[in-house]
């Protein structure tokens, strides 16, 4: 990659930040001034520099984009899901950016009803995301919420599905959740100034938003409000949740004007989720020293914790992620040996069985399954080599039917690729899983280019899923690997606990151990390896860049959370207070000192760094745009190498890049072109 152009230089305007008798000087704090024309000009100059620095990959980007589009079936539809007398699905049309949401009445041969065509909104806005899509219980109304900036704030409208007309009801500044009541009232949430969903409202159709009834206000900034129905649709559950502590209250939808009833008031460190069947609440909880969760039951008439009774005990070697209740069965989503599994319990026979899967490395997810009175469980199975495969599984007969496997055009053959799971040894002796996929034959000549992906926060696990875009790397001889570092829950809740708070550095050293293991076992070399992470995974990238300046050839840091200390001290920023339970509160000097020791922005030094691509969104509510902007500015000032450092700022989007499916593929092609350029593949035919 050519790097003889001069990058834009951000002005140095020192600002001293003092706490705990310690002062940090932030030379680029002024970049937070979003409405300052000088800030916008600087960001636009960064984009112009990036475009100039990557001009030589334009043909490669075009080719990658064409490949990715060429693998998808552009005109396609989802497997219809039955709810009552209707079959609901969505579909795409060739050349159109967005989904079309549809249904058929009675059977699949019935005429199609188009409920919502997102392409209409896509023609009106540069960015549009559907955040709320809820059909009323009588199937006559659709409540939908759109975000047209990337700020993840939604405007809700209600459509009469019989006439196609919009009702006069407009709900502004809504958060991303809503549910219908039995009487066609609409429950929805709104946010405070820090974009925390703190209020639940009841809206009566035809009324003004100003007249809506406030159901609950959660004043504690550690908690958010989220409404959801039980699967049998008997109760509206109102979840008040933080990262470490959760509480649930409920409304009997047969008595919608009744008061909220608490199940169990919050207890510090106790988490629980609730569903209902036949008069009993089934609760998944970590209560009573059950870090991997257990299931308890309690009467809906008297649900306090004192009355909870163990139904499925805690297991040290299996983590229970969730349950899905049906009239006659329960589906349990569990994780054992780092892999997801599905177990089925039959309430009549009290027998339990586990659904088998054919590959040693895979993942499986339970679909929405809107019908309660059914023996069919719909799930999606995939692996690093098997595309998304939707099955209907009869929980009585134990027979499965493949309803659809996602088409991959262009002659894709799963047998042409090899997947593996290996383990690296962390500095403290823990065995860290690595999922790997490559085209067969890629390793025949020894070490090859490798791209290592990581995340490792909030207990979120990057599972070994299929991605047809990834074939553009694999078919060029690149190995793709996922480091399942601590901070996720791939090996149970303890795996998460050992990657947060004052143990956060385990996430970084686990990732480094994975990279070193791949090198030691001749998968790749430092000059042939790139790395990638997004959001909190961008924090991982920033920390590893500071810790190992010679272990990788390049890095992609997407919307990176890199200014940890300053952000966690600013309670006006969205997410900050609620994440004290993830990172700690730096007002406590112990946490301040620990955060300061790894915060990527605070630890940039005058030394060589890898080649780096940073992406960001100006309207991002999760990671504010100024974090990557400040980080890049500081790196430019201090780094001592001539390696590439570029930033691509989406000026009209948020945390998740472009919203249209074709525009999103152009973003992926840009990232992949950078990766391939770094992996010194220029001598090959791209």
Question: How far apart are alpha carbons 434 and 424 in whole angstroms?
Answer: 7
Record the tokens describing residue 652, joined without a space: 């009209």
For 302, residues 6+ apart whose C-beta sits below 8 A from its C-beta are none
- Which of 501, 503, 534, 529 has the alpha carbon at shortest distance from 516? 529
Record the tokens describing residue 516, joined without a space: 């070193």
By 3-state DSSP, what share of the chain in percent is helix, strand and coil, each rounded to 5?
25, 35, 45
Helix (H) or strand (E) holding 608: none
Record the tokens describing residue 513, joined without a space: 């151990």
- Which of 196, 273, 194, 269 has the alpha carbon at shortest distance from 237? 273
Question: How far apart are alpha carbons 660 and 663 in whole angstroms?
Answer: 5
Report the relative pairing of strands 554-558 and 529-534 from DSSP bridges. Answer: parallel
CA atoms within 13 Å, Cβ hemisphere of 565: 26
DSSP string, 218-246: ---TT-EEEEEE-TTSSEEEEEEE-SS-E
Centre a 10 Å sphere on the Cβ of residue 526 and count the other Cβ atoms it contains. Answer: 14
Record the tokens describing residue 594, joined without a space: 């620990």
Q: What is the C-alpha end-to-end distance of the chain, expressed in Å?
A: 14
CA atoms within 13 Å, Cβ hemisphere of 549: 14
Report the relative pairing of strands 235-241 and 246-252 from DSSP bridges. Answer: antiparallel
The residues annotated as belonging to the active site are: 535, 620, 655
């Amino acid at each position: 990659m050519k790097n003889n152009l001069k990058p834009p230089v951000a002005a140095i305007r020192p600002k001293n930040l003092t706490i705990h008798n310690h002062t940090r000087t932030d030379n680029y704090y002024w970049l937070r001034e979003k409405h300052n024309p000088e800030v916008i000009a600087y960001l636009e100059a960064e984009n112009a520099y990036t475009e100039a620095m990557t001009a030589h990959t334009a043909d490669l980007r075009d080719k990658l984009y064409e490949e990715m589009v060429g693998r998808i079936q552009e005109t396609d539809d989802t497997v219809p899901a039955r709810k009552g007398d209707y079959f609901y699905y969505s579909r795409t049309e060739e050349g159109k950016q967005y989904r079309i949401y549809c249904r058929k009445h009675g059977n699949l041969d019935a005429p199609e009803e188009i409920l919502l065509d997102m392409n209409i909104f896509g023609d009106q806005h540069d960015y549009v995301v559907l955040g709320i899509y809820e059909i009323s219980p009588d199937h006559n109304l659709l409540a939908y919420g759109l975000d047209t900036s990337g700020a993840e704030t939604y405007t809700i409208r209600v459509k009469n599905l019989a006439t196609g007309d919009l009702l006069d009801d407009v709900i502004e500044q809504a958060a991303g959740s809503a549910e219908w009541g039995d009487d066609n009232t609409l429950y929805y949430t709104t946010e405070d100034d820090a974009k925390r969903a703190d209020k639940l409202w009841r809206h009566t159709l035809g009324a003004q938003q100003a007249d809506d009834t406030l159901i609950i206000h959660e004043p504690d900034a550690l908690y958010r409000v989220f409404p959801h129905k039980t699967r049998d649709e008997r109760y509206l559950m109102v979840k008040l949740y933080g990262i470490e502590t959760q509480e649930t209250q409920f409304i009997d939808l047969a008595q919608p004007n009744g008061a909220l009833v608490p199940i169990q008031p919050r207890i510090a460190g106790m988490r629980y989720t609730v569903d209902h069947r036949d008069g009993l609440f089934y609760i998944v909880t970590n209560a009573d020293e059950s870090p991997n969760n257990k299931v308890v039951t309690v009467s809906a008439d008297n649900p306090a914790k004192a009355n909870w009774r163990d139904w499925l005990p805690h297991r040290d070697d299996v983590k229970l992620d969730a349950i899905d209740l049906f009239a006659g069965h329960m589906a349990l989503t569990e994780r054992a040996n780092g892999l997801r599994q599905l177990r089925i319990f039959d309430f009549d026979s009290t027998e339990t069985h586990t659904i088998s899967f054919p590959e040693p490395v895979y993942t499986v997810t339970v679909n929405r399954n809107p019908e309660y009175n059914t023996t069919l469980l719909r799930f999606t199975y995939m692996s690093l080599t098997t595309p998304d495969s939707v099955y209907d599984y009869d929980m009585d007969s134990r027979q499965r039917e493949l309803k659809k496997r996602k088409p991959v055009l262009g002659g894709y053959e799963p047998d042409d690729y090899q997947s593996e799971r290996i383990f690296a040894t962390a500095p403290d002796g823990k065995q860290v899983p690595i999922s790997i996929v490559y085209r067969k034959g890629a390793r025949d000549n020894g070490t090859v280019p490798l791209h290592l992906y990581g995340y490792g926060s909030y207990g979120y696990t990057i599972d070994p899923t299929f991605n047809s875009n990834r074939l553009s790397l694999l078919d060029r001889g690149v190995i793709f690997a996922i480091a399942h570092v601590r901070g996720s829950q791939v090996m149970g809740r303890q795996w998460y606990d050992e990657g947060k708070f004052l143990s956060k550095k385990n996430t970084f050293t686990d990732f480094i151990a994975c990279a070193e293991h791949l090198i030691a076992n001749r998968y790749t070399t430092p000059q042939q390896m790139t790395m990638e992470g997004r959001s909190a995974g961008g924090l991982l990238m920033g920390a590893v860049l500071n810790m190992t300046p010679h272990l990788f050839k390049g890095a992609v840091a997407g919307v990176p959370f890199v200014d940890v200390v300053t952000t966690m001290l600013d309670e006006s920023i969205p997410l900050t207070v609620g994440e004290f339970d993830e990172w700690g509160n730096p007002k406590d000097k112990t946490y301040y000192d620990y955060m300061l020791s790894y915060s990527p922005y605070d630890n940039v030094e005058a030394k060589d760094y890898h080649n780096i691509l940073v992406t960001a969104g100006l309207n991002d509510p999760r990671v504010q745009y100024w974090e990557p902007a400040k980080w890049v500015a500081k790196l430019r000032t201090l780094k001592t190498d001539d390696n590439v450092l570029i930033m691509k700022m989406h000026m009209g989007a948020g945390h998740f890049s472009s919203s249209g499916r074709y525009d999103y593929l152009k973003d992926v092609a840009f990232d992949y072109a950078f990766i391939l350029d770094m992996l010194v593949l220029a001598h090959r035919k791209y």
